[in-house]
């Protein structure tokens, strides 16, 4: 763990929050938070000092400016300072409160008590360095889609015969939030992979935090090639919350993991990227059943044709 951290403060138009969060996650931020400042939003992010030089921060400021100008909004201002580890630990966590998602989930920070008398499925979470706190629109869309697939419809509609267990592949598992959510909804087994070893470790930690049997949530470092070696047979469902370009590249490999009636949930896709992702899926024998939107992001619910 680093002893000194960069604290980034970004003052922006509220509509830019989600795209800034995504850019910060891609940059390597290990914690993000936001608060309202008058008519603007103040986004804070934290990452170890060794992970970024001043030139890297200047490049980030340029990317944020370009992102804003592309959608016709004012360029955000980025300021940074160095803080010690104790200040980092308390700075971003104080903004993160329990959050209800969909009809069934409650995301609860690991350091806070679980609200009394809740009837929701509680996911206790300490994301550490991994993406997936439940705050981002794409994570919320995926959880809501999983809820629809695994609890709001009969099992026979989810991709297998009534009464048989559902097996799911989670590609780009991050903090493990989607895999844990799937298990809580009744999935028999989730196979999860991520190229980032720290994300896999975060999945292990959150699996333990939620008392999920390690035999029901199996995680490993790698991508679809590693996942294919882990599987005993094709999966009933796939969930993939990464980036549109990566999804397009991986579609043929992911298709090889599917059965004739497998369903899938794809997110991490900007609305303007949805057409190219849908075309790649259709070329590989998938049909887009629904497209759900949240702010500038979307989630594609698809099935085999």
Mean pLDDT, rounded, of the chain = 87
- CA 129 remoteness from chain centre: 12
Based on the domain organization, do 266 and 173 belong to the same domain? yes
The reported pLDDT for the residue numbered 280 is 97
Which residues make Cβ contacts (< 8 Å) with residue 173, sequence separation at least 6? 132, 179, 192, 193, 194, 199, 200, 203, 219
111-148: per-residue pLDDT in tens?
A: 888 888 899 999 998 866 555 677 788 899 999 999 99
* CATH number (domain holding residue 28): 3.30.70.260
At residue 88, the 3 state secondary structure works out as: helix
34-88: per-residue pLDDT in tens?
A: 888 889 999 988 888 888 888 889 889 998 999 999 889 999 999 998 887 666 5
d(CA 30, CA 224) in angstroms, rounded, equals 25
Number of H helices, E strands in the chain: 9, 14
Q: From 93, 110, 131, give the residue that closes a domain.
A: 93
Q: Which of 30 and 165 is assigned the larger pLDDT?
A: 165
Q: From 93, 114, 145, give the residue that closes a domain.
A: 93
Q: Please say if the pLDDT value at position 180 is more than 90.
A: yes
Based on the domain organization, do 250 and 296 belong to the same domain? yes
Which residues make Cβ contacts (< 8 Å) with residue 212, sequence separation at least 6? 180, 183
29: containing domain: 4-93
The reported pLDDT for the residue numbered 93 is 66
What would the two tokens of residue 237 be?
């469902």
- CA 2 remoteness from chain centre: 24
Q: Which of 152 and 260 is assigned the larger pLDDT?
A: 260
Q: Please say if the pLDDT value at position 152 is more than 50.
A: no
83-92: per-residue pLDDT in tens?
A: 876 665 566 5
> Residue 209: phi, psi to the nearest 5?
-60, -30
Based on the domain organization, do 184 and 274 belong to the same domain? yes
Burial 47-68 (b: 16+ CB within 10 A, else e): bbeeebeeeebeebbeebeebb
d(CA 273, CA 298) in angstroms, rounded, equals 9
Domain count, the chain: 2
């Amino acid at each position: 763990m680093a002893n000194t951290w960069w604290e980034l403060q970004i003052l922006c138009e509220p509509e830019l929050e989600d795209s800034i969060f995504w850019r910060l996650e891609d940059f390597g931020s290990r914690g993000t938070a936001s608060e309202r400042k008058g008519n603007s939003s103040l986004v804070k992010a934290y990452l170890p000092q060794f992970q970024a030089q001043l030139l890297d921060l200047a490049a980030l400021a340029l990317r944020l400016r370009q992102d804003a100008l592309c959608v016709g909004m004012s360029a955000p201002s980025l300021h940074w300072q160095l803080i010690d580890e104790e200040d980092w630990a308390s700075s971003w966590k104080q903004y993160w409160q329990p959050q209800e998602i969909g009809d069934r989930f409650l995301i609860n920070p690991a350091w806070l008590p679980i609200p009394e008398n809740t009837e929701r499925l509680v996911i206790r979470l300490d994301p550490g360095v991994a993406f997936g706190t439940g705050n981002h629109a794409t994570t919320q869309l995926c959880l809501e889609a999983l809820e629809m697939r695994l609890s709001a419809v009969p099992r026979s509609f989810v991709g297998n015969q009534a009464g048989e267990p559902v097996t799911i592949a989670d590609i780009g598992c991050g903090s493990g939030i989607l895999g844990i959510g799937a298990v809580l909804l009744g999935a028999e087994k989730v196979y999860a992979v991520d190229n980032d070893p720290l994300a896999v470790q975060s999945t292990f930690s959150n699996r333990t935090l939620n008392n999920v049997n390690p035999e029901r949530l199996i995680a490993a470092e790698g991508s679809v090639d590693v996942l294919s070696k882990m599987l005993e047979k094709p999966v009933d469902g796939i969930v993939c919350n990464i980036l549109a370009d990566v999804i397009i590249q991986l579609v043929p490999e992911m298709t090889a993991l599917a059965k004739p009636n497998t369903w899938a949930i794809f997110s991490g896709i900007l609305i303007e990227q949805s057409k190219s992702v849908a075309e790649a899926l259709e070329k590989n024998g998938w049909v887009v059943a629904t497209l759900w939107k949240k702010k500038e992001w979307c989630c594609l619910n698809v099935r085999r044709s």
